[in-house]
Structure 1
Amino acid sequence: MSFQPKGIIPPIITPFTEDDAIHEPVLRRLVNHFIDEGVHGLFPMGTTGEFYAVTDDEYKRVLEITVEETCGRVPVYAGANHITTRGAVRLAHIAESAGVNAISVLTPMFIGQTQEELYHYFKTIAESTPLPIILYNNKPKTNVTIAPETAARLGEIPNIVGVKDSTGDFTNTEEYLRLTRGNPNFSVLLGRDTLIHAGLCYGAAGAIASCANVAPRLTADIYDKYVAGDIKGSLEAQFKLAPLRIACNMGTFPAVIKEGLMMQGFPVGKCLDPIAELTDGEKAKLRMILQEMDLLSKEGTL
């Protein structure tokens, strides 16, 4: 397996119309905007994309639109997340038919699994598709974690090519890196946007960064400057991005990301119910943060 996930990959939001339909023109506009801003891949139907809220038909259509509009300019990664093995396999096959380059698979939700159960979960999915697979560990959301030893063991399966670590536990990230450093076909990606620069210093390959929806160029700078040898510039970009990631603690995720895009002039709509919009006070605070980050003009758009 020669596919290598790397760089800054926004888990793109799913835009909805007022009647909760997929807003295709806005999704196409976002795809081109992100690529123009220098991201290194696109990731529809992740947590930021409200994967849990769509039907299989909506899921497939979002992937098809993204693949079509991207037109091979950057890799397209698709979330294939389900509570059961057969459900994740079904989504993997849908993603495969839509023409994506790789899939990301979250640990099952709600139920608690042993590490051996997790191993067989991911192994079965990997055996069901030729697509490259990125393991997705988001313990704060699922209360399930992929232990570093399990990730290293799964990395021996040819089409399991990496792991996204959204735990926010940098020791966990470091252990992923340490235990897989002898595997040239396995990459570690950060899923906590405040830790991208630190991860690169340890040998991470990049990040799947939700804040790259609102700050694609700034987030890409963390990676591009680091790779170019401008370590100080990379760190400064990381510091500049941090207030936006911290602001995501307002409201229910991904409400801040969607509201930020709305403020920038992208009519992405609100998150699907039951997620509520930010309060007026929270919106005012977010607007100030975006202005201070040079992500919003005084008039309110880019």
Structure 2
Amino acid sequence: MTPTPHLHGIIPPVVTPLTPDYQIDEAALRRVIQHLLAGGVHGLFLLGSTSEVVFMDAPQRREVLRIAVDEVAGRVPLLAGVIDPTTDRVIGHARDAQAAGVDGLVVTAPFYARTSQAEIIEHFRAIRHAVPLPIMAYDIPVCVHVKLERATLKALRAEGLIEGLKDSSGDDTNFRLLAVECQDDPDFRLFTGSELMVDTAFQVGAHGCVPGLGNVDPAGYVALYDAARAGDWTAARSIQERLIRLFAVALQGTPRTSGGASGVGGFKTAMTLLGLIPHHHMHRPNLPLNAEETGRVAAILREGALL
């Protein structure tokens, strides 16, 4: 098992391909994983937001983990999102993930019901005590409607309940302040969930990135990480700006679809055009991109020399 404190680099949240009847497409998922590994990624995040985790029941989640653990065969660390509204459900998913053989867990604050910061700490404490796997906290207030405050993260870290943070809050000021606060704790892993501010995040101390767009162009994000590690910020900025232009694939479904469906749908549509997956639909009720929107995604891929 690879300890979570050594996580670094590009760890994409793996898209989950579906069959026409909304089941896990095993052959396509294996191709996606092969594509990501060939791109040089440093780990994989299964069952995250880009994976459509909240739309999956427990058997589907177990199926994703079974396929991924088998396909990766220990080549890179695997993190599993164990995302659900209640502590006991999360513990159930965490036990399934542990049994599947993943290296760590990714946990959000509870959602739907309103939760205090004290209750969030108790949530993480109960999960960590029930399942002895490293935990990466996941701050995504746009989905769970509560923020993991810096004081809460500090308390979780002090108690040994978390090993790092995936920050998808979009709050760059808070991320910068957190990076400063964590300078005396070099083993605490800071990851940005932003596709568009990665070079900046690396400059202020991030250890890695969890980019949904990395499903489409994993090698591009690995090149950005390598440039940042080398201190070549001119190259990093150039690569980042190319990826910003490519990110337009995630914007083509709106306003007809929701932002989330446009984003994941854009990634899936691009991956269909690249021959990685056969179908670009998502779990219901999310609407897939239509023919006109798909044409715009194809044009973006051609402009980015991917198609």
Shorter chain as denominator, the TM-score bin is over 0.9
Q: Give the drift of 1:184.
A: 2.3
Which residue does 1:147 correspond to in 2? 149
Which residue does 1:262 correspond to in 2? 272
Secondary structure at 1:160 match in 2: coil
Which residue does 2:257 correspond to in 1? none
The 8 Å contact of residues 5 and 161 in structure 1, kept in 2 or not, is answered as: no
The 8 Å contact of residues 177 and 202 in structure 1, kept in 2 or not, is answered as: yes
Q: Distance in 1 between matches of 2:80 and 2:32?
A: 16
Letter in 1 for 2:267: I
Q: 1:138 aligns with which of 140, 144, 150?
A: 140
Letter in 2 for 1:292: E
Q: Distance in 2 between matches of 1:23 and 1:44?
A: 15
Which residue does 1:37 correspond to in 2? 39
The 8 Å contact of residues 131 and 159 in structure 1, kept in 2 or not, is answered as: no
CA displacement, residues 17-72 of structure 1 (integer Å, 9 cap, x when unaligned): 11211111111111111111111101111001010111211111111111111011
Q: Give the drift of 1:247.
A: 3.9
Q: Could you tell me which runs of 5 or more consecutive residues in structure 2 were left unpaired when the two chains were aligned.
A: 254-260
Please, which moves more after superposition, 162-171 or 111-120? 111-120
Q: Distance in 2 between matches of 1:3 and 1:147?
A: 21
Which residue does 2:91 correspond to in 1? 89
CA displacement, residues 176-234 of structure 1 (integer Å, 9 cap, x when unaligned): 21222211221110011111111100000011110000010001111111112322211
Secondary structure at 1:96 match in 2: helix
Q: Give the drift of 1:93.
A: 0.7
Which residue does 1:285 correspond to in 2? 296
Which residue does 1:173 correspond to in 2? 175
Letter in 1 for 2:141: K
Q: Distance in 2 between matches of 1:44 and 1:2?
A: 15
Q: Give the drift of 1:136.
A: 0.4
Q: Give the number of equivalent residue pairs.
A: 296
RMSD (Å), alpha carbons: 1.5
Structure 1 residue 190 corresponds to structure 2 residue 201? no
Secondary structure at 1:163 match in 2: strand
Cα distance, 1:4–1:277 mapped onto 2, change above 3 Å: same
Q: Distance in 2 between matches of 1:112 and 1:246?
A: 34
The 8 Å contact of residues 258 and 268 in structure 1, kept in 2 or not, is answered as: no
Give TM-score scaled by structure 1 length. Answer: 0.94
The 8 Å contact of residues 55 and 283 in structure 2, kept in 1 or not, is answered as: yes
Q: 2:158 aligns with which of 137, 156, 159?
A: 156
The 8 Å contact of residues 5 and 162 in structure 1, kept in 2 or not, is answered as: no
Q: Distance in 2 between matches of 1:181 and 1:111?
A: 34
Q: Distance in 2 between matches of 1:182 and 1:129?
A: 28
Task: Give the share of equivalent positions with the same residue, in percent.
Answer: 31
Q: Distance in 2 between matches of 1:227 and 1:233?
A: 11
Q: Distance in 2 between matches of 1:208 and 1:157?
A: 25
Moved over 4 A (4+): none
Please, which moves more after superposition, 257-266 or 286-295? 286-295
Q: Distance in 2 between matches of 1:142 and 1:243?
A: 28
Please, which moves more after superposition, 173-182 or 80-89? 173-182
Letter in 2 for 1:259: T
Which residue does 2:80 correspond to in 1? 78
The 8 Å contact of residues 222 and 234 in structure 1, kept in 2 or not, is answered as: yes
Letter in 1 for 2:224: I
Letter in 1 for 2:32: L
Structure 1 residue 213 corresponds to structure 2 residue 230? no
Q: Distance in 2 between matches of 1:132 and 1:58?
A: 23
The 8 Å contact of residues 4 and 161 in structure 1, kept in 2 or not, is answered as: no
Letter in 2 for 1:285: R
Secondary structure at 2:54 match in 1: helix
Letter in 1 for 2:147: T
Give TM-score scaled by structure 2 length. Answer: 0.92
The 8 Å contact of residues 248 and 300 in structure 2, kept in 1 or not, is answered as: no
